[in-house]
Structure 1
């Protein structure tokens, strides 16, 4: 009996840039669906329908691939956020409220995205690529918030010599709310997070003493 020839597995053929993006988006899907268990060259390349050697060819290592996945999600969030703010003709306060609303949209607050994000964060201590990606994207968001908070403080007549501690505190609040609400997935969770963020901004604008107690870098005018 004549044996049938073994068919070689056919992989998708794309241009290098297309294959890179395919691998990045496949990595994101694997992390969203399986969390840390999805951090596998075999699973990612199977999802992308390419050979395992493509990871080293295009990224050098899986750590660099995952850092690129983190960069892509962060970039898409920041670019769409900036586009939203640029379309707003209101004050810095209006733009910050818009930032809050976009930050807590359902498309960003979901367990699958959180599952991927937890993997990203867990890799930071041991992956130079992830640490650099985190630092770069974190700084981009902080710069945006610093600019808005500084303008608000000037509009309100607050005498602040260093806005960095305030922006870092706000980022910590937003990150915490995002994680908590994404985990709980309660009804109206986005609105609850929005209310807390807006309350924080109201307290900041009123110059509540909490900001003075936690930083000697700035003071508020009385009034």
Structure 2
């Protein structure tokens, strides 16, 4: 016999998930405003408008809450770029262009989220859990990027070393994120334009100087 879904069970589950997400969003806010070292459970509870007891009930410790926050951000970013990759179609140039554009989409690229990312990255060296959490996802992204760069090399006969060029592209994108986080006047559109110009220089047979695809 097929079990009948329990609407009451779903109703009881939803608030718990909502509270956890509320606390994760408050943690991102606190990291962006106060930095890693100065963010406390009390700060997060106040930012979320909840009691310290509620925070402890859902996560038990600051470490657990920070790990859950990093997990959420890593999953969000991975889902975002993989979706852009798939929607771009099979052409390597279109996929590379989509990955670059995805990094400057408002859904993942805000000063608030960038500041939280850099707060975590600043702690990663001394926290193996953070390294393990992001390492596998970074590897998948790097492999996808290297594969696209290699495909463009094969298509047009470029003379570069694909892994090295993919690494330089990643480093350039991370540098633009840093500039955006610092708030020195650079906008998302300006950062995206700079990244598109890089594509035009690195792959002149695939992209125009402004990063538009050459057909």
Indicate if the aligned counterparts of 2:114 and 2:178 stay in contact, CA closer than 8 A.
Answer: yes
* Counterpart residue number, 1:9: none
| TM superposition shift of 1:206 | 5.2
| Equivalent residue, structure 1, for 2:198 | 200
Q: What value does the CA root-mean-square deviation take over the aligned residues?
A: 3.1
Give the match for residue 221 of structure 1: none
Matched residue of 2:35: which SS? helix
User: Which runs of structure 2 are paired with 1:20-31 in the superposition (5 Å)?
Assistant: 20-31=20-31
Largest Rg, 1 or 2:
1
Q: Deviations over 1:144-177 (max 9, x none)?
A: 21222222222223477x6332222111110001
Aligned length: 192
Matches within 5 A, 1:41-56: 41-48=41-48, 49-52=50-53, 54-55=55-56
1:3 counterpart residue number:
none
In structure 2, the CA distance between the partners of 1:139 and 1:61, relative to structure 1 (3 Å rule), is farther
CA distance in 2, matches of 1:114, 1:17: 24
Of the structure 1 ranges 17-26 and 115-124, higher mean CA displacement relative to structure 2 is found in 17-26
- Deviation, 1:44, is 1.9
Contact 1:63 1:127 in 2 (8 A): no
Question: Bigger CA drift: 198-207 or 124-133?
Answer: 198-207
Deviation string, structure 1 residues 28-69 (Cα, Å, up to 9, x no partner): 2322343336521222234442444854x6556423421321
Change (3 A) 1:111 1:21: closer
The runs of 4+ residues in structure 1 deviating greater than 6 Å are: none
Q: Secondary structure at the match of 2:75?
A: helix
Question: Unaligned stretches of 5+ in structure 1?
Answer: 1-12, 208-223
Q: Aligned partners of 2:14, 2:39: CA distance in 1, in Å? A: 23
In the alignment, which residue of structure 2 is the partner of 1:118? 118
Between 87-96 and 191-200, report the one with greater CA deviation.
Answer: 191-200
Cα distance, 1:39–1:78 mapped onto 2, change above 3 Å:
same
Q: Is the 8 A contact 2:153 2:159 kept in 1?
A: yes
* Residue 157 of structure 1: aligned partner: 157
Output the TM-score relative to the length of structure 1: 0.70
Query: Partners of 2:189 and 2:38 in 1: how far apart?
Result: 32
Q: Secondary structure at the match of 1:36?
A: coil
CA distance in 1, matches of 2:189, 2:137: 26
Structure 2: 5+ residue stretches without partners: 1-12, 206-215
1:127 aligns to what?
127
